[in-house]
Structure 1
Amino acid sequence: MTPDRFRNFAAVDWSGAAGERHRGIAVALMREGEPVPQLVRPEHRWSRAEVLAWLIAEMPANTLVGFDMGISLAHADAGTYFPGWAESPSDARALWALVEAVCAADPHLSVTRFVDHSEAARHFRRHGGREGDLFGGGRGRFRVTERAQELLGCKPYSNFNLVGAAQVGKSSLSGMRLLHRLHGQIPVWPVDPLPGSGSVVVEIYTTIAAMAAGRTAGRSKIRTYEDLNDALTALKCDAIAGTGAIADHASDALITAAWLRGAARDPALWQPSALTDQIARTEGWTFGAR
């Protein structure tokens, strides 16, 4: 099936930082028939719970919405998420449920209790030089989709790495709490099959969208309106009003929402060669990684 039924395209630059509200969260929406994406609540500092509420109650129908986070952890390399842990989940949905259960008392969809859990912590690289004995060394463990990202020229981080400005581990884990709460309301591709109607959540990597807009992987961050509008022009959008500096969280979301409009109509992106049923069920995939 060619998924040309989507009418709106949204992108969420997500954050796993501590606290309730975050400058690092931005939501952009490309509505049907409009020539340019727009930020949703542009002056607002979002909480993760507010993003969840927007998805369920306010997002337009038939929207393809991308989240800049990893929707799962590496599984294929070891045949399990957490080798040596008897309670290691069997698939992505069970992983989301485990993170939610362990972190039920953590406010704001945070994940402190999970990364500090005596068994889970053995697999993560954490701040303060704390590297779990099962982290694996080096850059950590990678999903199959992250290896596909590398073939595109991207430089992904392991979701087991929680250290460094570019790490995505905590945002991915906090995102899993959101995905768990979406169950039965919005499907998450490819963990869930692509439905014939309605909205769908996908994982995105904003660097892929920036590269499609003419940037390089090393220069994917856009911090001025002038560079933003060059990228939007490359994606066949009109310019956005504004000059000077713009937060890269906002530009990431805007560019990715614009990119999704065209990318969603490419059947090849929905059928990556390395995406098996088992990978879909356990590791998920980054939309746009071939």
Structure 2
Amino acid sequence: MRRFSNFACVDWSGAAAERPPGIAVAHIGPDGPPALLSPQPRWSRADVGEWLLQLAGDDADILVGLDLSFGFPFADEGCFFPEWDDSPADAKSLWAFIDRICAADPHLTAGSFLSHPEGQRHFRHSKDHVGDLFIGGTGRLRLVEAHQRATRQANSWSCFNLVGAGQVGKSSLTGMRMLHQIGRYIPIWPFDPVPKRGPMLAEIYTTMAARAAGMPAGRSKIRDRATLLSALAALDSPAPVALSRYDDHSTDAMITAAWLRKNAGNEAFWHPEKLNMHIAATEGWTFGVI
């Protein structure tokens, strides 16, 4: 099994802004503490894409976790978007499909997809605006999300839900645009095989890392140094340099980078029992869910 020497986590954001405050990137080496990578004034989604392309150009030995969903539900209905004749056949086609529809949207946003006559039918947009094909309650789930919830490994939300603080639909749509634009240059797990060298991307869920670091359910967001140091110590990471401000995006990224270093060698995480070739090509999987 491939052994990576460096790890990073990108805490992503789907906010409709060029440089949303919710993006944070942390890196950790083979030893030592995690460190934030902090461009000025803030990260944009395009900046993250360029950074990832630079890693590919440098043939960097690094596993990068992105906190967004790499796919939409497929297995439950046999397609991503029922009643849409153009619904793509697999995840990579989905990324291209979304990016094409949103080509005129700035900053890798995805408003055009959510306002598309067919696309909007599948989402809960607000309390008073629910698409006619949105399944009530939780909404449609990928196999990995249903499995997470059933086994209580995590409590993921449906990508088709755009309501509430835990919604992930917008971040996933914007992230899929980036995946399409960089996917020919950098392998993405589990859609691509693990390369013998160079970088690789994987979907992660920062709350899982926080829970592994000892944070209780429902209280995984860390906004102070003492709690951050306690969480990192649980992941065998020494204390990082002091931050000027402890926001949960930065601490999520740092904790998850340390969690990746501690767990990337766990072969079960790379070969979960329910992940088959069809799911790997359509819905993808969250690294660490078994």
Specify the TM-score bucket, using the shorter chain as the normaliser.
Answer: over 0.9
TM-score norm. by structure 1 comes to 0.95
Counterpart residue number, 1:275: 275
Counterparts of 1:111-190 in structure 2 under 5 Å?
A: 111-127=110-126, 129-150=128-149, 151-190=151-190
Q: 1:152·1:289 contact (CA, 8 Å) conserved in 2?
A: no
Q: 1:210·1:220 contact (CA, 8 Å) conserved in 2?
A: yes
Instruction: Using the TM superposition, give the Cα deviation of residue 138 of structure 1 relative to its aligned residue in structure 2, in angstroms.
Output: 1.0
Counterpart residue number, 2:27: 29
Q: 1:226·1:243 contact (CA, 8 Å) conserved in 2?
A: no
Counterpart residue number, 1:18: 16
Q: 2:236·2:262 contact (CA, 8 Å) conserved in 1?
A: no
SS at match of 2:97: helix
Counterpart residue number, 2:232: 232
* Aligned counterparts of 1:173 and 1:222: Cα–Cα separation in 2: 26
Aligned-pair identity in percent equals 51
* Count, aligned residues: 287
Q: Which runs of 5+ in 1 are unaligned?
A: none
Alpha-carbon RMSD across the aligned residues, in angstroms, is 1.5
Q: Which runs of 5+ in 2 are unaligned?
A: none
- Quick one: which of 30, 45, 49 aligns to 1:48? 45
SS at match of 1:22: coil
* Aligned counterparts of 2:128 and 2:23: Cα–Cα separation in 1: 27
SS at match of 2:8: strand
TM-score norm. by structure 2 comes to 0.95
CA 1:244 to 1:180, structure 2 compared with 1: closer, same or farther past 3 Å?
A: closer
CA 1:224 to 1:42, structure 2 compared with 1: closer, same or farther past 3 Å?
A: farther
* Aligned counterparts of 1:240 and 1:233: Cα–Cα separation in 2: 11
Residue identity opposite 2:221 in structure 1: K
Counterpart residue number, 2:68: 69
* Aligned counterparts of 1:243 and 1:19: Cα–Cα separation in 2: 24
Q: Deviations 1:234-260 (Å, cap 9, x if unpaired)? A: 011111233796100000000000000
Counterparts of 1:193-232 in structure 2 under 5 Å?
A: 193-232=193-232
SS at match of 1:175: helix
* Aligned counterparts of 1:133 and 1:71: Cα–Cα separation in 2: 24
* Aligned counterparts of 1:243 and 1:203: Cα–Cα separation in 2: 26
* Aligned counterparts of 1:22 and 1:244: Cα–Cα separation in 2: 18
CA 1:66 to 1:40, structure 2 compared with 1: closer, same or farther past 3 Å?
A: same
Q: 1:8·1:63 contact (CA, 8 Å) conserved in 2?
A: yes
Instruction: Using the TM superposition, give the Cα deviation of residue 3 of structure 1 relative to its aligned residue in structure 2, in angstroms.
Output: 2.5
Instruction: Using the TM superposition, give the Cα deviation of residue 163 of structure 1 relative to its aligned residue in structure 2, in angstroms.
Output: 1.3
Instruction: Using the TM superposition, give the Cα deviation of residue 129 of structure 1 relative to its aligned residue in structure 2, in angstroms.
Output: 1.7
